[in-house]
Structures are given as structure tokens and as C-alpha cells.
Chain A
Amino acid sequence: MQTQSPPPGSRRRSALLWLLLPYVLFLLVLPAVNRVTPTVLGLPFLFFWMLLAILLTPVSVWLARRGDLRRGHGRDGGGTTGGCP
């Protein structure tokens, strides 16, 4: 059995921590947002917050992806450069 080398790029993929953001928004802050008032745009606060969390989830994935792209591993959009620097 060969010695295990770290997965490619694992040390530098700290941007993946952004993927925990939905858990924070939906779960960690729940005790604070579990309320009817204040209503926002007429929505009870909990429902407004959940809607906001849904809309922020793509943002957190985008941030993770941006971090991945910046590792220089890939050039989005089919650039002509040769992958790893």
C-alpha cells in the first residue's frame, strides 16, 4: 500500500468553508430568527429569513467556486492556458 498523498489541492481549498454558510443561515441562527415579528414585506420574520437563506445559498456556492477557480486549477470558459501553473 502506498503512502497516502494529500488529495490534490486539499490544503488550499479553504474556500470550501463557504459551503457551511447555508448551515449557519438555516440552522445556527434559528433561535434568533424563530419569530413572527417584525414582518418584512408582509412576510412573518421566520419565513422572510428562510427566503433570504435560500437566495444566499447560491452566493455561498459561488464564493466556494470562485476560490476553486482562483487556485489556478482551471480557467473557466475554456481559456487556452494549460491548467496548473
Chain B
Amino acid sequence: MNAAVATAVFAAFMLLTVVLGLLAVRGRTAGGGLTEWSVGGRSLGTVFIWVLMAGESYTSFSYLGAAGWGYNFGAPVLYVVAYMSCGYAVGYVVGPMLWAYARRHGLVGITDIVAHRYRRPWLGAAVAVLATVCLLPYIQLQITGMGVVVSTLSYGTISLDWAYFIGFAVTTGFVVVSGLRGSAWVSVLKDILVVVTLGFLAVYVPLHYFGGYGPFLDRVVAEKPQWLTFPGHASNGLGQTWFVTTTVINSLTVVIFPTTVAGYLGARNADALRRNAMYLPFYNVLLFVPMLLGLAALFVVPGLTGADSNLALFKLVVDSLPAWAVGVIGAAAALSSIVPMAVFMLVIGTMWGRSVLGAVPRLASRQKLWSQVVVVAAGALALVLTYTAPTTLVRLSLISYEGMAQLVPMLLLGLLWRRLTMYAAVSGLAAGFTVVCVLVFGGHDPVWGVNAGIVGLAVNVVVALAVTWLGPRERGDDRPDAEVLALDDEFPRAGEAAGAGTAEAHGTR
């Protein structure tokens, strides 16, 4: 009975998700092309951008991993709110910069930006391949995250394998057709569900189990002080140095992360991004809820280990709430997988459709179609690997973020500093990426308490600078700086708030 109710509620929300995603492009499908699909025609306003970017950053990790880290380690989990907050502040500068650059030159993603900056289409293709390797594991993490949630919340009636498939099917069902705009619409449903359910849980769980916040927190402070400061409980090297270095590198990486950039480029104008840099950090307050509930679970369901600790939050939910509420919370958690997964797939599709397949002259005329094909292929690949070789992508996911961080110099330094040559950017990237792989796969992350990615980034920058100064010069690129660099940040001018149609790219009156 419980299972039937929870599953029915959940199924209704999944149906609503697909319908909403498809409705998003009603009346817009004709002739929109790749820009319409990949970056929503660069037409999303402040509210949609907020909803979308909050939606894509609040992944299944937020429900599972945040509670699991809180449960296992305690304080180290705070790195998530720290880097996201700092990242939003950095995004105040970087977001409008990338937006203006992409708009001026008609670009749809980071691979496109790199190809334009260094005037080498093959470099865009190479970065697309590298970024795909880093992103695929995230799709799998969303699929498996959704799987365990759905399976738990259906009281076991939906098997893991089916739950994985549902995640893939629902996501593919709308993103292929409606792209970024559809993801933004679905994000609305997701954000409402997430805010309501987490707000409710934040109040309900302490009341139900401890008689209120006071007694709950008193008990945590009295009995689990080890969890409440760095380096946390048995966290194996996640001390203050790790926290600081991780926050620094992640806050730089998150602003060039392909999915974040998709959100940036979807904005109607640069000011929508500046406003969002101000409003988005508030969403981080919500992340406190799963962290605290993870601590609460220490008292209610002690002794969870390994992957089970990720279910800390949901054990409380199933234990204490009626079936319909379990279904709603399950839908919220599932959408927290679906929205980021949609954007991950969209980004992979865009990178390949534009920079890899689009670079082949014979295929170049159908970029949107190829992107859509790649979306299905990438999602299917992640799904198949989830079934057949789950550990492969898990291992890859270890380098995802720190590997992606190595693109920061090529992209951001490159857009600000003309002298950085292609040779230098590529050498730096290769060196940094190698260092990350060696350290991470060698089991040395953190290394001496320092995030391995920042070690890689340091090597990356040093190599890039050395090759720029000592290596071969860039020849034959006689484009003016304004064409190559991101100099004009398009700060709003009069009339900008009127919305779309601020096509003026350069020039002050």
C-alpha cells in the first residue's frame, strides 16, 4: 500500500516533468537552430537564470552526498557551501565576460570559445573530448543517485535497474527536444519541490526525533563535537588546508564548468547574470539542511557505512513520514538528479555537435541534429556503463572536477592576455592534467593536506607562462585584440533593462 501510494505520487511528478519540459518550447521549435536549443536563444531573464543555475548546481549530491558527508565526516562537508558562495562572487565578473564574448562571436560553449580564441577548430574538438571524459561520470552519478533514491522511496518496489532507466528516459525525453529552455522550465518545478521539502524536513526532523532544534543541537554539541570542527570525524586528511585549497580551486572551476557556462550563455543580458551573482548565494542556505540532517541521522540510524551512509537522509524520511510525503520528497530528489543530468547531456551534445562533428565540413550544416544525437548517445553510454562497468566511471569521477580545473588558464587567462599562445595553453593543460591524474590515481589526493587539483593548476600555470615566454610565438594571427580577447564586459547601458534586443556589442556612445 505504502509503496503504491509513494510510487504513484512519484510517477505523476515524472510525467509532469516531461510534459513541462516539452511545453517549454511550444511555438518555438521551428528554425531555432543550435543557439535556441543549446543556450535557449540567449533569451532567459533573471528569474529563469536563477532557477536554472540553482537547479543545476543542486544535484543529487546535495541530497545524498551532503547528508552522507555530514554523517561520516561532519565539518568537511562545508566545502560545498564555501566554494559555491565564492564561485558566485567570481561569477559576477566571469559570467558577463563570457556571455558578452560568446554573444559577440556567436559561440555556444567553452569549446567554441577556445576554438575562437586560439583560432584552432581542432583545439575546440580536443577540449570537447577532454571535457566529455570529465562530464560523463557526472551523468552516471546522477543516474545512480536517482536509482538509490527511487528504489528506497518506493520501498523497494522499483528495482535499481529500472530506477536507473527511468532517470535516463525522463531526462532524455525532454532535453533532446527542448534543450536549455526545457531544463529551465523543469528547474522551476524542481526548485519549488526542493525548497518546500527541505524547508519542511528542516523543521520536522528535529521536532519529530529530538523535540526541537535546541535539544537536537545540544545533543550534537555534547556528544559529537568531533564532527563539528575541521578536520572532522575520521576524515583522513580533510583538514583546514584541504578545505581552503579545495574551496579556492573549485570556486575558480565552477565558473568555467561547461554546465555553468551554458547557464551564463542562456542569459538575455549580462545584467541578469550580475543580479544572479547576488541572489544565487541565498540558495546555499538550503544546503545546510541535508548537512544537519546527516548529523541528525547519526543518532537515529547509527552505524551506516559506505554507500549506505549516502542514504542517511532518506532513512529518516522513510522512517518518519507517510507514503505520499515520501513520494513527494522522492520526486524532489529525483529532479535534483534529472535537471543537472539534462544540462550535462545538453552540454556534451552541444560540444560535439558544434566543435567535433561540426568541425567536419560535410556534417557542419546539421549541428543541432548531431547535438541531439550525441545527447542520446552520451546518456545511453552512461546508462550502459552504469549497468555493466559501474566502477569505471566512478574512478573517472575522481578526476572530474580537478581535471576540469585545468582548463581555467586556457580559458580565463587566454581571454584576458593576448600573449598566451596556443602552445603554452595546451602545454599547461597537458601538464596540469597529467599531474592531477598521477596524484589522484596514485591515491595522493589530498597530497600533504592540499587538494591535488590546485597542485596541478600551479604546474599548469607555470608551464603555460614558461612556454609563452620561451616557446614559439603565435604567427599569422592578425586579428585585433577586441576580436580575440574578452575586453568589453558590456556593462548595462541605458535601456538595457528593457530586455532583449540589446544587440550593441561594442562602443560607448
Contacts and interface: CB of A to CB of B under 8 A. Distances in A.
Interface in A13-30: 16, 19-23, 26-27, 30
Interface in A46-84: 46-47, 50-51, 53-55, 57-58, 60-62, 64-65, 68, 71, 73-84
B488 A36 contact: no
A63 B480 CA distance: 34
Chain A interface: which size bin? 35 or more
Contacts of A7: 487-489
Contacts of B495: 78, 80
B498 to A, nearest CB: 6
Contacts of A55: 282, 285
Contact of A19 (B92, B221, B244): B92
Interface residues of B, number: 54
Contacts, number: 154
A74 B494 contact: yes
A2 B481 contact: yes
Contacts of B85: 22, 26, 53-54, 57
A47 B228 contact: yes
17 contacts: A7-B487, A21-B89, A26-B82, A26-B86, A27-B243, A34-B75, A34-B240, A36-B228, A42-B213, A46-B229, A54-B85, A54-B282, A57-B281, A58-B282, A65-B278, A71-B491, A83-B493
Interface of B: 75, 78, 81-82, 85-86, 88-90, 92-93, 213-214, 217-218, 220-221, 225, 228-230, 240, 243-244, 247-248, 251, 271, 274, 277-279, 281-282, 284-285, 288, 418, 478, 480-481, 487-489, 491-498, 508-509
Interface of A: 1-2, 4, 7-9, 16, 19-23, 26-27, 30-31, 34-37, 39, 42-44, 46-47, 50-51, 53-55, 57-58, 60-62, 64-65, 68, 71, 73-84
Given A57-B89, A78-B494, 7 more contacts: A20-B89, A27-B248, A30-B244, A58-B281, A58-B282, A74-B494, A80-B494
